[in-house]
A and B are shown apart, each in its own frame.
Chain A
Amino acid sequence: MTVDTHMPYDEALARFEPVLGLETHVELGTASKMFCGCKTTFGAPPNTQVCPTCLAFPGSLPTANAVAIESTIRIGLALNCSIAEWCRFARKNYFYPDMPKNYQISQYDEPLCFDGYLDVEVDGRTVRVEIERVHLEEDTGKSTHVGGATGRIQGADYSIVDYNRAGIPLVEIVTKPVEGTESLAPDVAKAYVTELRETLRSLGVSDVRMEEGSLRCDVNVSLMPRGASEWGTRTETKNVNSLRSVERAVRSEIERQAAILADGGRIIQETRHFHEDTGVTTPGRSKEEAQDYRYFPEPDLVPIAPDPAWVATLKEALPELPSVRRKRLQAEWGVSDLDMQAMHNADAFDLVEATVAAGAPAADARKWWMGELARRANESGVALAGLPITPAQIARVTELVASGALNDKLAREVLEGVLAGEGSPDEVVERRGLRIVNDEGELSAIVDQVIAGNADAADKVRSGKIAAAGALVGGVMKASRGKADAARARELILEKLGVSE
């Protein structure tokens, strides 16, 4: 494999202007496939979720999944699209062993949703990514190529096909070309996919797992020389399986294309593959020997004609979208952009919001989730939401602190107990005996004991060196294993030693 030359990013940006385009495929989380009743469970044994229709047996016919159509319309609405009042499925014809019918039922010139946008925040700036179309189609089966070096069909000894995925509803979301992003192009691409993923998640239409392929992204990049007005030839990079890869793939393509163009070369319109390990793209199938898909309207299915009144009710019932929600939460919680970003990155909004809803002050809820709990999640390598503790439990802990029953140190111990499976916060307090000592007699006895055992410090205090009381307070805290009320202990010490502040 030849290694492409890459131009340093800053130099590439100085000479060329990047134009982006993103095509995202989302597997819908419907219970059954797009055109038959087969289940869609991920990870089932190969070829166990198949039937005559999704295996394209002679005489079988497709029937459209109404939930998938509804989900697609909801996605379109969330992306501010217009919804077609009448549209058809179309056949995309090409031969490939993992496509049982040797045509894919898709949509061509009549997408279900069109002309929308998604606003994304990058570097404190709002970038509007315009959506060209959102359409519904079916997924193909999954080929595994065995033998050969690349894991691709070229050079493989043999290939095996799992048709479980064939016919799973797939929504394709295509942006219009995104211009003017300049050096932020990779960040805009990443922010777009991130925002799109959250939007889809909030709609509950897909589990949007990039690593399992339920969200797949193709990144189109072209460059034009500074001062030019015509776009350059674009490449389409596939196999971009994480948010970070989206960013890296864009950056790498910009650097690669810039080196070619600067050298007087020309960009070949082709599909490229991104390699996670090396961070570069390599060529796939060339689009210049263009596939002619011979699209025509699917005669086995009737047109989709969503009733505008029904579409209006779907729009009405859309959940609060992530960007709107973030603005609301920031106002409610009164936190900085930086804190919002940290919570966003830690996927903490739901948890903090639920903790607040359970009665905790926003500042406390955020403090615990983003502090102690984030640290523990990080240590054990799980997501925050994966910790065995609930927002209601956190709220209870903050309540105990506010009432004076716990201090921060004890509260951390309570959380530790809850995480260790010792029960609710109250049970942990009870079992570990963590309540602050506020029995005056008990505290008095501890103070006497500490004064007796630290005659030097006591004398210093008596002689007016009040600062020396700190050591005695420390002694009380130690003797009470942290459960004493430090302020009251200090008052008692000074009183017993006959001094006042």
Chain B
Amino acid sequence: MSLIHKTAAELGALIAGGEVTAVEVAEAHLDRMAEVEPKINAFLHIDRETTVEQARAVDARLGAGERLGPLAGVPIAHKDIFATADMPTTAASKILEGWRPPYDATVTSRLRAAGLVILGKTNLDEFAMGSSTENSAYGTTHNPWDLTRIPGGSSGGSSAAVAAYEAPLSTGTDTGGSIRQPAAVTGIVGMKPTYGGSSRYGLIAFASSLDTPGPFARNVLDAALLHEAFSGHDPMDSTSVDAPVPSVVEAARNADISGMRVGVVKEFGGEGYQAGVLARFHEAVELLESLGAKVVEVSCPSFSTALPAYYLIAPSECSSNLARFDAMRYGLRVGDDGTRSAEEVMAMTRAAGFGPEVKRRIMLGTYALSSGYYDAYYGQAQKVRTVISREFEAAFHQVDVLVSPTTPTTAFPIGERADDPIAMYLADLCTIPSNLSGNAAISVPCGLADEDGLPVGLQIMAPVLGDDRCYRVGAAVEQALESRWGGSLLSKAPAL
């Protein structure tokens, strides 16, 4: 099997055992990228020389006997929203075109320290606002399963890169489903850790109270290895949880779920859900039962109000977070010809630099926070958020994990929802509640929808700091399904 088809755990072991070098592994992936990028467009920035140089440095560290983690020498692609000191960081926005941060994000620096080699920066919806990567200022990314379809979003470049074997691992951020939804529609694993379990330092903020960095991988164990490598308390992020990282790797290796209580969220299903998605989901629930789990139905009525609450809270925070892009200190500057005031230059820059979806959300948020509207919109949304958190808490008294389809539909065609923001927002219907409450949730592949042959994701939700449960149940499902399929779901994807 070629290097690009190996798992991250396998690559780490081969490199550690001296059977291949990090440089060889990096080059194999760079070659794959060169081959498929014209079709996929997963990357915004590739710099072969920098990547090989990093790989060479890791080989030298390993050669010198330095003990690095299990992923030393394994390549990774970073969503272009994490600051990287040696590569541009744009958040897929014109307003940051060419910007090079003077520092690394905590996620980036921890993975560097663990010896991971950066292949490049991946595409996303501008400032992580979207569910399809169509909102990128630098062109959309294509789903490796069907190039006419979206790879999900906002972390669509990261999901596509892993699904297309351009990278064994990638990072993403999940604010309303931006890791789980792309993972689901590209047939890979994507995890949103507990809010605060992974540091936001150096992550360009969309909605501070929701943004959560997390891993993409082609299997549950690889995701857990990556999760463990960048997680843990960070004094640079006040909202980072000062608690031990849940033992996710151990959980991913222990696929025993007998006796576990699994709740099926009653409200996620029915109208608006694709039949093929529901069919695969119900099979997955049956599978869990056959593996020894006790399945019950759990009602969470407030989850139906999560989407509107999210579309008040997230835009409100973003309207403030994005105020810093004002042409004064970095990034794009428009209209500064010596005749205009700072205010005019700010306004012209923001008009030219932000795309339509970003502007829409800034305006929504500005309105929701306005004096006289605050209580009715932002204030009310925060109350809904509290109710949702309580419903999760109550549910987790009854069950160990909750399950649902990750997305109501499989990957939709590029352009289909581009002019219909509400339809686009519905892609995150099932994922948003976990962002509002901050609990952990993972998406694992659970088959292909009959009507279009595209991947379906199973979402497994666990309580705050119960991330290990996501991996344990995910690993059990993966093991059972792969033995049924005779390989990974991704192995069924058409060749590129």
A-side residues, CB < 8 A to B, are: 52, 55-64, 91, 93, 95, 97, 100-103, 159, 161, 290, 292, 294-296, 299-302
C-alpha spacing A101/B205, complex, angstroms? 12
Q: A301-B238, A302-B239 are in contact. Are A97 and B370 (CB under 8 A)?
A: no
Q: Which residue of A lies closest to B367 (CB)?
A: A294
CB distance from B87 to the nearest CB of A (A): 14
CB distance from B78 to the nearest CB of A (A): 12
Q: A93-B369, A296-B316 are in contact. Are A58 and B238 (CB under 8 A)?
A: no
Interface on chain A toward B: helix, strand, loop, or mixed SS?
loop
CB distance from B98 to the nearest CB of A (A): 13
Q: Which residue of B lies closest to A302 (CB)?
A: B238
C-alpha spacing A101/B330, complex, angstroms? 12
Chain B residues with CB under 8 A of A101: 323-324
Not counting A93-B323, A290-B371, A296-B316, a sample of 12 additional A-B residue pairs whose C-beta atoms are within 8 angstroms of each other reads A52-B101, A57-B101, A58-B204, A59-B82, A59-B202, A60-B201, A60-B202, A62-B238, A93-B369, A294-B366, A296-B378, A300-B208
Are B323 and A95 in contact, with the CB atoms below 8 A? yes
C-alpha spacing A398/B202, complex, angstroms? 65
Contact partner, A61, options B237, B328, B329, B369, Cβ 8 Å: B237
B59 within 8 A of A: no
CB distance from B370 to the nearest CB of A (A): 6
Are B103 and A52 in contact, with the CB atoms below 8 A? yes
16 A-B pairs within 8 Å (CB atoms) are namely A56-B329, A57-B102, A57-B103, A58-B330, A59-B82, A59-B105, A63-B238, A93-B320, A97-B326, A97-B342, A103-B323, A159-B342, A290-B371, A294-B319, A301-B238, A302-B239
Residue-wise, chain B 173-200 has the 8 Å CB interface mask toward A (1 for contact) of: 0000000000000000000000000001
B134 within 8 A of A: no
Q: A64-B238, A299-B317, A300-B238 are in contact. Are A55 and B323 (CB under 8 A)?
A: no
Are A103 and B201 in contact, with the CB atoms below 8 A? no
Chain A residues with CB under 8 A of B99: 58
C-alpha spacing A63/B199, complex, angstroms? 13
Chain A residues with CB under 8 A of B239: 299-302
Are A59 and B203 in contact, with the CB atoms below 8 A? yes
CB distance from A246 to the nearest CB of B (A): 31
Are B83 and A59 in contact, with the CB atoms below 8 A? yes
Q: Which residue of B lies closest to A63 (CB)?
A: B238
Are A58 and B208 in contact, with the CB atoms below 8 A? no
Chain A residues with CB under 8 A of B217: none
Q: A52-B102, A59-B101, A91-B320 are in contact. Are A299 and B208 (CB under 8 A)?
A: yes
Interface on chain B toward A: helix, strand, loop, or mixed SS?
loop
CB distance from A3 to the nearest CB of B (A): 29
B138 within 8 A of A: no
B-side residues, CB < 8 A to A, are: 82-83, 89, 91, 96, 99, 101-103, 105, 200-205, 207-209, 235-239, 316-317, 319-320, 323-326, 328-330, 342-343, 346, 366, 369-371, 374, 378
Q: Which residue of B lies closest to A91 (CB)?
A: B320
- The 10 A-B pairs at the shortest CB distance, nearest first, are namely A102-B323, A294-B369, A299-B208, A299-B209, A59-B202, A56-B324, A58-B204, A59-B83, A292-B371, A97-B342
Chain B residues with CB under 8 A of A64: 238
Chain A residues with CB under 8 A of B342: 97, 159
C-alpha spacing A302/B238, complex, angstroms? 6
Are B200 and A58 in contact, with the CB atoms below 8 A? no
C-alpha spacing A203/B161, complex, angstroms? 59
Are A58 and B96 in contact, with the CB atoms below 8 A? yes
C-alpha spacing A302/B330, complex, angstroms? 28
Are B326 and A95 in contact, with the CB atoms below 8 A? yes
Contact partner, B346, options A52, A95, A296, A299, Cβ 8 Å: A95
Chain B residues with CB under 8 A of A93: 319-320, 323, 369
C-alpha spacing A461/B99, complex, angstroms? 102
C-alpha spacing A301/B330, complex, angstroms? 24
Are A102 and B235 in contact, with the CB atoms below 8 A? no
Are B320 and A55 in contact, with the CB atoms below 8 A? no
Q: Which residue of A lies closest to B327 (CB)?
A: A97
C-alpha spacing A100/B330, complex, angstroms? 11
CB distance from A406 to the nearest CB of B (A): 62
Q: Which residue of A lies closest to B341 (CB)?
A: A153
Chain B residues with CB under 8 A of A295: 369
Q: Which of B200, B235, B324 has the most CB of A within 10 A?
A: B324
C-alpha spacing A190/B82, complex, angstroms? 52
C-alpha spacing A249/B311, complex, angstroms? 48
Chain B residues with CB under 8 A of A300: 205, 208, 238-239
C-alpha spacing A100/B91, complex, angstroms? 19
Are A55 and B329 in contact, with the CB atoms below 8 A? yes
Are A100 and B324 in contact, with the CB atoms below 8 A? yes
C-alpha spacing A59/B208, complex, angstroms? 10
Chain A residues with CB under 8 A of B235: 63
Chain A residues with CB under 8 A of B320: 91, 93, 103, 294, 296
C-alpha spacing A283/B343, complex, angstroms? 21
C-alpha spacing A265/B82, complex, angstroms? 58
Q: A93-B320, A102-B324, A103-B320 are in contact. Are A296 and B374 (CB under 8 A)?
A: yes
Chain B residues with CB under 8 A of A102: 323-324, 326
Are A61 and B200 in contact, with the CB atoms below 8 A? yes
Q: Which residue of B lies closest to A293 (CB)?
A: B371
Chain B residues with CB under 8 A of A100: 324, 328-329
CB distance from A305 to the nearest CB of B (A): 13
Are A59 and B205 in contact, with the CB atoms below 8 A? yes
Chain B residues with CB under 8 A of A59: 82-83, 89, 101, 105, 200-205
CB distance from B176 to the nearest CB of A (A): 15
C-alpha spacing A161/B328, complex, angstroms? 10
Chain A residues with CB under 8 A of B209: 299
C-alpha spacing A350/B326, complex, angstroms? 50
Are A58 and B324 in contact, with the CB atoms below 8 A? yes
CB distance from B222 to the nearest CB of A (A): 26
C-alpha spacing A63/B201, complex, angstroms? 11
C-alpha spacing A328/B239, complex, angstroms? 48
C-alpha spacing A299/B318, complex, angstroms? 11
C-alpha spacing A236/B147, complex, angstroms? 62
Chain A residues with CB under 8 A of B203: 59
CB distance from B326 to the nearest CB of A (A): 6
Q: A95-B323, A294-B370, A296-B320 are in contact. Are A61 and B102 (CB under 8 A)?
A: no
C-alpha spacing A294/B204, complex, angstroms? 22
Chain A residues with CB under 8 A of B369: 93, 294-296
Q: Which of A61, A64, A97, A300 has the most CB of B within 10 A?
A: A61
